[in-house]
Amino acid sequence: MSPTPPARRLRLGLPRRVFSQVLLMQVAIAAGVAVLATGLFLAPLSKQLDEEAMRRALAIAQTTAQDPEIAEGVLNTPPTPGGPVQREAERIRRATHAEYIVVMDWRGLRWSHTTPGEIGGHVSTSPRQALAGRQVMEIDEGTLGRSARGKVPLYDARHRIVGAVSVGIAYDSVRARLLSAIPGLFAYAGGALAVGALAAWVISRRVHRQTRDLAFSDISALLAEREAMLHGIREGVVALDRGGRIRLLNDEARRLLSIGDEAVGQSPDAALGAGRTTDVLAGRVTGTDLLTVRGQRVLVANRMPTDDGGAVATLRDRTELEQLGRELDSTRGLIDALRAQDHEHANRMHTLLGLLELEMYDDAVEFVGEVVGDHRVTAEQITEKIQDPLLAALLVGKATVAAERGVALWVSDRTRLPDRLIDPRGLVTVVGNLVDNALDAVAGRLHARVEVELRTEGRTAVLVVRDTGPGIPAERRELVFTEGWSTKEPPAHGKRGLGLSLVRRLAERQGGSAEVDEAHGGGAEFTVVLPEALTDAGPEPDTAPAFAARVAALTEEEAR
């Protein structure tokens, strides 16, 4: 015979479902509140009933003491069960439904009592206060048990205290009134509990729909997983509520946007300021994989609306990819410059070889001098006007590329830039982008020309790049500074349309501006103003001749 399986133990505890837990807790709270409210009501009610009983006893005692027969009897008759004082006191007691009326003389001897055998004896409680002329209300114990008492002095016709009157109201009647009020209180408490239970059920149903019947432990686990996921992924996540305010930022979003926890609760406009990044987060610019620039970072943003009217935006950092793309473009530009120099160098070598073979030695010497002089003149012209080595080297290289492409790159006579730049690399980025765009705009046109002007006004640097290209229509002059906008075909490594946007961003970061207008005689004229671009120090030693000499020496060595 198989053994009987052990009986399962009953396991008591909260149910797992959120609906059941919320309903149970709210019903328990409603019941607790009802019981507490009933208790808080009964306590003052009991005190109020005691007060009413004592006042009633005092009023009966006052009425009895004002009866002239009572004072006259105490003065002129002995304390006997059949005396006038006992008869009058019992009459008043029966008329008022008091428990007892005790009349005593100034010695504390009873002249009346509910029990006739007690007449003539001393009272059980002290009448000192009443005999002293004071009225007394109290709850006390006597020979007839616990009662609400009232004691008053007894005066004769000449207003002398000759005794006292003590009246008692049975405490059982007070308790009976209190108990009779309890069923009504419980009825009200039960009604309140029923309303509370109904409200709890309605709230629980709403919570059930919103939590999708998950247990609290499941919700807690989901929140923990969400926190770990948000702060662990390498994408920035920004959550916005239905009012468009930021309600969540993960660590990567704080890093990419350069903001802190103080941004939570603010709108993107207040937290980030005006710009394309703000427009994307606020939903004013729509689309997928939107390019935006925040500081020196290039970001790819996507925004997804949520069911509650808010939205979640994700941000990916493309700065490194864009830097690689720019480096690739720079490398291609360098290769083009080297190819141009190689092609030009080969032609010059062929020319020099021909002159030597023809034994035209004087002409060969003159030709070499002209070639070296051209390179030296170009380097000297640039370095005399631009004393920052990085910018000078950039423009010398761009001049070589321009010459290969049949474009005249000219540095304006108004150009003067000392070697006191705070951020020379930033200005190199601005100049490089503008010159590249200008070379692309004039490529293949007759009398193609690009002019660069760099001047200072105090600590402010002003850059102007003019070209003889087709120009930019007035309606598109703001559009060219938008991320992702370009008239050229995108390269293999990514999207175009970031160069001019970075130029404006770099300028605005320093409190400056970047604008485009029509150049004199046609073409485009880009103007970039960079306030506080130079240090406060005085003019540094002029390094332009030394730098020009180094450039010329390298050029002469190449020619040899």
Residue 194 lies in a domain: no
Q: For position 303, which CATH number holds?
A: 3.30.450.20
Residue 544 lies in a domain: yes
- Would you place residue 219 in the very low, low, confident or very high pLDDT band (cuts 50, 70, 90)? low
Residue 224 lies in a domain: no
Q: Are 31 and 167 part of one and the same domain?
A: yes
Q: How many domains does the chain have?
A: 3
Residue 474 lies in a domain: yes
Q: Is the pLDDT of residue 229 over 60?
A: yes
Q: Are 245 and 382 part of one and the same domain?
A: no
Question: Can you tell me the distance from the alpha carbon of 267 to that of 273, in angstroms, rounded to the nearest whole number?
Answer: 10
Task: Tell me the three state secondary structure of residue 469.
Answer: coil
- The predicted model gives 300-310 an average pLDDT of 86
Closest CA to 53 of 146, 171, 157: 171
Q: For position 399, which CATH number holds?
A: 3.30.565.10
Residue 332 lies in a domain: no
Residue 182 lies in a domain: no
Q: Are 170 and 77 part of one and the same domain?
A: yes
Q: Are 283 and 393 part of one and the same domain?
A: no
| pTM listed for this prediction | 0.41
**57-101 pLDDT per residue, tens:** 899 999 888 888 888 888 888 888 888 999 999 999 888 888 889
Question: Can you tell me the distance from the alpha carbon of 453 to that of 391, in angstroms, rounded to the nearest whole number?
Answer: 12
Q: Are 173 and 88 part of one and the same domain?
A: yes
Q: Are 37 and 142 part of one and the same domain?
A: yes
pLDDT at 451: 92
Q: Are 392 and 539 part of one and the same domain?
A: yes
Residue 391 lies in a domain: yes
- Residue 142 domain boundaries: 21-177
Strands 408-411 and 449-457: parallel
Residue 363 lies in a domain: no
Q: Are 119 and 32 part of one and the same domain?
A: yes
- Following DSSP, what letter does each residue of 48-93 receive, concatenated? HHHHHHHHHHHHHHHHHHT-HHHHHHHHHS---TTSHHHHHHHHHH
Burial of 556 (0-12, 13-18, 19+ CB in 10 A): middle
Q: Are 36 and 153 part of one and the same domain?
A: yes
> Do 122 and 110 touch, CB atoms closer than 8 A?
yes
Q: Are 394 and 524 part of one and the same domain?
A: yes
Question: Can you tell me the distance from the alpha carbon of 219 to that of 21, in angstroms, rounded to the nearest whole number?
Answer: 13
Q: Is the pLDDT of residue 127 over 50?
A: yes
pLDDT at 343: 66
- Would you place residue 486 in the very low, low, confident or very high pLDDT band (cuts 50, 70, 90)? low
**434-484 pLDDT per residue, tens:** 998 898 888 888 888 999 999 988 888 999 999 998 888 888 888 888 755
